Amino acid sequence: MSTEQSTAPDIIFVRDLRIDTVIGIYGWERQVTQTLVFDLEMATDIRAAAASDRIEDTLNYKAVAKRVMEFVQASRFELVESLAEHVARLILDEFQVPWLRLTLNKQGALRGARDVGLIIERRRD
C-alpha cells in the first residue's frame, strides 16, 4: 500500500437525489411541486476516516443529503440558478466542504428533452 500524498482531493458523491419543491417562473409552476434531481460531488480528505473507521472523521453524506432536502423542499425560488447557488453555499458553509460540483436537473422542463439543468462548481472563500 502506497503512502504517497495525493494532490487530488478525495470526492464523496451523491447521485440522483430527487427532491420535490415549488420552482419556476410560470403561474402554474407556483401552484405545484416539481421533482428536481441533484448530483453532488464534494471534495474532502478521507484519510482520517479511513484510519479511524469513524463517521465523525468524514463528510457525512447522509447529513448533507438530509440538509439539502430540507432546504430545497422549503424553498420557493423561481430560477434553478438561484436555487443551485444557495444549495452550493449551504454545503460549503455548513459542512466545511472546500469544493463542490453540483448538477441540478429539472427533468421535463423542455419539450423534446429529457434533461435540462445546470452544473456549477464552487469553492469556499
C-alpha cell at 88: 452550493
Distance CA 109, CA 89 (A): 25
Active site annotation includes 66:
no
**pLDDT bucket at 125, cuts 50 / 70 / 90:** confident
Distance CA 45, CA 49 (A): 8
Residue spans of alpha helices (H) in 1-125: 47-52, 61-74, 80-94
Can you give the residue ranges of every domain in the chain?
10-123
Tell me the per-residue pLDDT of 61-119, one tens digit each, with 9 for 90 and over. 999 999 999 999 999 999 999 999 999 999 999 999 999 999 999 998 888 889 999 99
Q: Which residue has the cell 434531481?
A: 37
Fold of the 10-123 domain? GTP Cyclohydrolase I, domain 2 (3.30.1130)
pLDDT of residue 46: 97
Q: Is the pLDDT of residue 20 over 60?
A: yes
pLDDT of residue 77: 98
Distance CA 8, CA 6 (A): 5
Catalytic residue among 12, 23, 106, 117: 106
The pTM for the full model equals 0.91
